Amino acid sequence: MRKEIANKCLDTLFKTPISNEDNLIIYDGEVDEEEYISWEPVEKTLSQDFTSLENEFDIKLHKSIVEYFNSYWFADLDGFYKEHYIALKPVLPKSEISSFRESLKGYKENHGNSLKKIPIGIEGNGLLVVIENKSGIIQLEDFERGTYEHIAENMQELIRNFRLKR
Average pLDDT over residues 91-104: 85
Q: 98-143: per-residue pLDDT in tens? A: 889 999 999 999 999 999 999 999 999 999 999 999 999 999 999 9
Instruction: Write the single-letter amino acid at 149.
Output: E
Domain span at residue 129 reads: 42-160
112 lies in a domain? yes
3 lies in a domain? no
The CATH number that applies at residue 108 is 3.40.1580.20
Q: 30-61: per-residue pLDDT in tens? A: 888 888 887 778 888 888 899 999 999 999 99
Q: What is the mean pLDDT of the chain?
A: 85
24 lies in a domain? no
Q: What is the pTM of this model?
A: 0.84
Q: How many domains does the chain have?
A: 1
